[in-house]
Amino acid sequence: MTVYQWLVLFGLLLKGTVDVFALKDVVLTIRPQIVERSGYATLMCSYDLEGASLYYVKWYRGKYEFYRYTPSEKTKTKLFPLGGINVNVDRSNSTQVVLTDIEFQLSGNFSCEVTTADEPVSTETAVQNMVVVQLPESPPTISVGREPLDYGDTLRANCSSPPSRPAARLKFILNELPVAFSEDFSPRSSQETRWSDLPLELLLQEHHFNRGKLVLRCVAQILDVYHEEAVLELTSARNPVPEKVSALDSAPATFCQPGLLVGALFFIGRF
Ligand SMILES: *[C@@H]1O[C@H](CO)[C@@H](O)[C@H](O)[C@H]1NC(C)=O
Ligand SMILES: *[C@@H]1O[C@H](CO)[C@@H](O)[C@H](O)[C@H]1NC(C)=O
Ligand SMILES: *[C@@H]1O[C@H](CO)[C@@H](O)[C@H](O)[C@H]1NC(C)=O
């Protein structure tokens, strides 16, 4: 038997006298969990009182309480002023708090603490992290040095993404081949936004060319809320491989046929 099973058994023995399992399943959900600066977020605290009555729900940012909901009192809601926190009281109740005009400094842990009124009083807390971001105002841009380029030349380029927080992570991709990444950057101050820059200096080799073409992409990413890219087609000094279809070139097309057939059979086989 697990400790939990023992506890359940113990609880069943006690049932009728006191209810040991008065409060459970306290869960805090923040929507959205990654919120844009000066936007708003809803913090939802769900709980199962199992028939007990609610004494209060206390809301904390870090270890500081900023909102309390006490259903038994005349003034059910109580606000504790805390720097940078704006509560929309009209939209807040016993299970949720709505924060508006969210600033960077609110990034961090929030928690809701639920306490029952009936003896024995039980208290449960749930914690959730919120991240405040500022996205760049425009997509990244690429600047390059001289063109055209050939094997043995050095490709010089810069990619930059306008100020954001956190700074965007940048990646250069040359013809589907990742060739450079930016490093992660930790902001020094709570208000800081920052440009992201990524230089590229690459000695071009044969495998960098695809049919004589050079396509350079720069991808800017912030957590999983922002993904933008810039694409630049560079002039290559290499003659592109002729794309006209000759008698010889048509040969690979016939190789496709068995594949198509297998694909069709597989498809039929799935029914
Ligand atoms: C609190 O307000 C939200 C949004 O208006 C609502 O969905 C929710 O049911 C309310 N909770 C309670 C316990 O009334
Ligand atoms: C935030 O909460 C998580 C999970 O409870 C904890 O591991 C982490 O240390 C907390 N962070 C801070 C800054 O208190
Ligand atoms: C890239 O940025 C560096 C430093 O800002 C600069 O010296 C260089 O000229 C830039 N190169 C291109 C191709 O824009």
CB 55 within 8 A of CB 32: no
Q: What percentage of residues in the chain have a pLDDT greater than 90? A: 60
Cβ neighbours of 204 (radius 10 Å): 20
The DSSP 8-state label assigned to residue 95 in this structure reads: S
Whether pLDDT at 250 is above 60 = no
- Which of 109, 113, 128 gets mutated to test ligand 2 (max ligand atoms within 8 A of its CB)? 109
Mean pLDDT of 115-144: 94
pLDDT bucket at 188, cuts 50 / 70 / 90: low
pLDDT in tens, 11-53: 554 444 444 556 889 999 999 999 999 999 999 999 998 888 8
Q: Kindly report the CA angle at 110 between 90 and 39, in degrees rounded to 5? A: 55
Find where tokens 């609110």 sit: 106
Mean pLDDT of 107-118: 94
- Determine if ligand 3 sits within 6 Å of the CB of residue 199: yes
Distance between CA atoms of 41 and 99, rounded to whole angstroms? 5
- Determine if ligand 2 sits within 6 Å of the CB of residue 177: no
CA of 112 to the centre of ligand 1 (A): 16
pLDDT in tens, 195-244: 999 999 999 988 888 788 899 999 999 999 999 999 999 888 876 655 55
**Which phi and psi (to 5°) does residue 4 adopt?**
-60, -45
Q: Which ligand is nearest to the CA of 142?
A: 3
Domains of the chain: 3-133 (2.60.40.10), 141-234 (2.60.40.10)
Mean pLDDT of 138-156: 91
Model confidence, pTM:
0.74
Side-chain half-sphere CA neighbours of 101 within 13 A: 6
- Which atom of ligand 2 lies closest to the CA of 128? 2
- Which of 53, 95, 97 gets mutated to test ligand 1 (max ligand atoms within 8 A of its CB)? 95
Whether pLDDT at 249 is above 60 = no
